Structure 1
Amino acid sequence: MPAVTVEDVLVLPRLPKLDPATTAFRPVKSLTTAPSGFEGEGFPVRRSFAGVALSDLDPFIHLDQMGEVDYAPGEPKGTPWHPHRGFETVTYIIDGIFDHQDSNGGGGTITNGDTQWMTAGSGLLHIEAPPEHLVMSGGLFHGLQLWVNLPRAKKMNPPRYQDIRGKESALLTTPDGGALVRVIAGEIDGHAGPGSTHTPITITHVTVQPGAEVQLPWRADFNALLYVLGGRGTVGADKRPIHTGQLAVHGPGDALRFTADLQQDSHTPALDLYIMGGEPIREPVAHYGPFVMNTRAELMQAFEDYQAGRLGVIPAARLPHSAGEGDRP
């Protein structure tokens, strides 16, 4: 699980040592295990938010862990062309390579530790696929796609694309150097990530070495969602056991606490976490297929606009996949 790393974390800025007597460590409100499924043209995913109420996720809508899968030659898969409106997709690649292209002119190639941040806004078409050379060779693929809701006032903003290189993330460590914290968006203890957001959120990828504990400052007005990419440990004020594919929704407080088990398996030698939080939008959500709006009427309008070609057209110079409507539910 390479993402972005450093040879010596002790050269990085360190998080403050929190006082347990005055810090309100958040308890775990719920713990769920992601079911497995398939997406796009057939790549395996874990539905990381399955079974969790939207009110607990707000401002987030959906999260897929893509892979981890080691493809044989000819096996790598992506998605066909499909539309989006009313929200943002945040795709984070840990292992492997993914190409992106959209009808608004955005796009690029992301690889280990990179993020593509696509604001669909008023609507566009896009495609995500492994490059041809990876299809030919096969190889390891592992990543995440997070859907971030847009508030009503910004749902029809013009589309926007952010190409965030992994090396741009703010890198931090703990007082004892037991963890690497990568801030992708928002900020932690004043250290800001490169992602530009429409609603206040924080996204971080944390790697915790066996036996190490992390006390992470967290805004009290944000929710807090912790998803285990790999490994085993404990989480929350009450130190609940947690493992690969599980999501911990936290209750109130101003800090998160989690620990990596001393014994990890050889495939996942450390505890890897994707941690998200944000200021809830608290607006009605009408969500169906590739559209996230506020009302059923707005959903119907989105489908009508897509069918009428008002969300854009597939560019003449396009990735080699057929047009299609399918996408995450």
Structure 2
Amino acid sequence: MPAVTADTLTLPRINRPGEGSTQRPVISLTTGPRGYEGEGFPVVRAFAGVPQKLLDPFVHMDQMGEVEYEPGEPLGTDWHPHRGFETVTYIIDGLFQHQDSHGGGGLITNGATQWMTAGAGILHIETPPAELVESGGTFHGIQLWVNLPASDKFISPKYQNLEGGQSELLSSDDGGALVRIIAGDIDGHTGPGATHTPIVFAHATVSPGAELSVPWRADFNSLVYVLSGRGTIGAEKRPIQQGQLAVLGAGDAITVAADSGQDSHRPAMEILLLGGQPIREPVFQHGPFVMNTRQQVVEAMEDFQAGRLGVVPPNALRPHRVKR
């Protein structure tokens, strides 16, 4: 897994929660179904079956891949609109290109993140570059949707390019886990992503037999998603494995432990730590629009059809096709 790596023995340590802390219990454990997105790339629908109020302020998350493409197979999405939220695309392994109608764009690669605030409306495309389509190869990433409060749903679009090396790299207290903070704060250590809605988004690699225990803001919700491997979650040590999402209850600490035995092709447990301050507003989502009411979604569709969400630029990126 080529996402940014480091020697955990030389990194700043996350303080283990104190004796007076309360470990968050598991209140739900779900397995994401597999599906297809865009022009046909495989995904795991990580939040499927989980009530929106437990996810708030998050709306949607796909684990894209992990897939080993043959030459000519890599697929992405063509130009499409968004309004009312932020898209976060984190590439763990492989290459992805982004371009939007507001001037944002670039190549996203191992450990990098593109953070797009759709706000009032934007058009964008995400697709594998021509060289990956031609050669094939490994592709693995995450797309996360972060809701915006009603007061921010019509702000101007914004784009952030966060290279893998910008992530805040930390070690667990005993060096058994590597934590990459992409956005938000854990134990006083802050990631580079600037967010409208207060959240934490981090990727951790937990070595076989190791335990990761971190302090967590009591006013945030808490989600743990397993990208690969298996272990246990919470004070009750509930078994959890690849493709599963744990929603945790109240408390100010999170503990995840990796089993001593992991799959040979994936030597460690890989997890996402997610949490945020709930917005507690109505959510009406339809396709690429996340608003507060049905009427607002109807208006977003009308604005898109009238060209008011943006215009595809003259130098527009397009999905690459291998000529047969």
Please tell me the TM-score bracket, short chain as reference: over 0.9
Aligned equivalents of 2:104 and 2:318: distance in 1? Answer: 17
Q: Which residue matches 1:209? A: 207
Structure 2: unaligned runs, 5 residues or longer? none
TM-score, reference length from structure 1: 0.96
Aligned equivalents of 1:206 and 1:48: distance in 2? Answer: 17
Q: Which residue matches 1:326? A: none
Q: In structure 1, which of residues 112, 115, 134 is the aligned counterpart of residue 113 of structure 2?
A: 115
Aligned equivalents of 2:265 and 2:241: distance in 1? Answer: 13
Q: Is the 8 A contact 1:81 1:321 kept in 2?
A: no
Q: Which residue matches 2:251? A: 253
Q: Which residue matches 1:165? A: 163
Aligned equivalents of 2:295 and 2:231: distance in 1? Answer: 45
Q: Output the amino acid matched with 2:8.
A: V
Aligned equivalents of 1:321 and 1:304: distance in 2? Answer: 26
1:319 maps to 2:317: yes
Q: In structure 1, which of residues 291, 300, 306 is the aligned counterpart of residue 304 of structure 2?
A: 306
What per-residue deviation string (whole Å, max 9, x for no partner) do you get for residues 164-201 of structure 1?
01110111101210000100000111100000000110
Q: Which residue matches 2:267? A: 269
Following TM superposition, by how much is the alpha carbon of 1:76 offset from its aligned partner in structure 2, in angstroms? 0.5
Q: Which residue matches 1:132? A: 130
Moved over 2 A (4+): none
Q: Is the 8 A contact 2:16 2:215 kept in 1?
A: no
Q: Which residue matches 2:222? A: 224
Following TM superposition, by how much is the alpha carbon of 1:93 offset from its aligned partner in structure 2, in angstroms? 0.3
Following TM superposition, by how much is the alpha carbon of 1:239 offset from its aligned partner in structure 2, in angstroms? 0.4
SS of residue paired to 1:305: helix
Q: Output the amino acid matched with 1:3.
A: A
Q: Which residue matches 2:283? A: 285
What per-residue deviation string (whole Å, max 9, x for no partner) do you get for residues 66-120 of structure 1?
0000000000000011000000000000000000000111011010000000000
Aligned equivalents of 1:215 and 1:17: distance in 2? Answer: 6
Following TM superposition, by how much is the alpha carbon of 1:320 offset from its aligned partner in structure 2, in angstroms? 2.1
Q: Which residue matches 1:4? A: 4
Following TM superposition, by how much is the alpha carbon of 1:202 offset from its aligned partner in structure 2, in angstroms? 0.5
Aligned equivalents of 2:256 and 2:215: distance in 1? Answer: 12
SS of residue paired to 1:300: helix
Following TM superposition, by how much is the alpha carbon of 1:138 offset from its aligned partner in structure 2, in angstroms? 0.3
Aligned equivalents of 2:262 and 2:247: distance in 1? Answer: 23
1:30-41 to 2 correspondences below 5 Å: 30-41=28-39
SS of residue paired to 2:227: strand
Aligned equivalents of 2:289 and 2:106: distance in 1? Answer: 23
Aligned equivalents of 1:23 and 1:227: distance in 2? Answer: 22
Aligned equivalents of 2:197 and 2:127: distance in 1? Answer: 28
1:7-26 to 2 correspondences below 5 Å: 8-19=7-18, 21-26=19-24
Q: Is the 8 A contact 1:43 1:78 kept in 2?
A: yes
| Segment of structure 1 superposing worse, 63-72 or 9-18 | 9-18
Structure 1: unaligned runs, 5 residues or longer? 323-329
Following TM superposition, by how much is the alpha carbon of 1:268 offset from its aligned partner in structure 2, in angstroms? 1.5
Aligned equivalents of 1:18 and 1:130: distance in 2? Answer: 41
Aligned equivalents of 2:64 and 2:209: distance in 1? Answer: 27
Q: Which residue matches 1:74? A: 72
Aligned equivalents of 1:283 and 1:18: distance in 2? Answer: 32
Q: In the comparison of the two structures, how many residue pairs are matched?
A: 320
Q: Is the 8 A contact 1:89 1:146 kept in 2?
A: yes
Following TM superposition, by how much is the alpha carbon of 1:304 offset from its aligned partner in structure 2, in angstroms? 0.3
Aligned equivalents of 2:57 and 2:173: distance in 1? Answer: 31
TM-score, reference length from structure 2: 0.98
Following TM superposition, by how much is the alpha carbon of 1:18 offset from its aligned partner in structure 2, in angstroms? 2.7
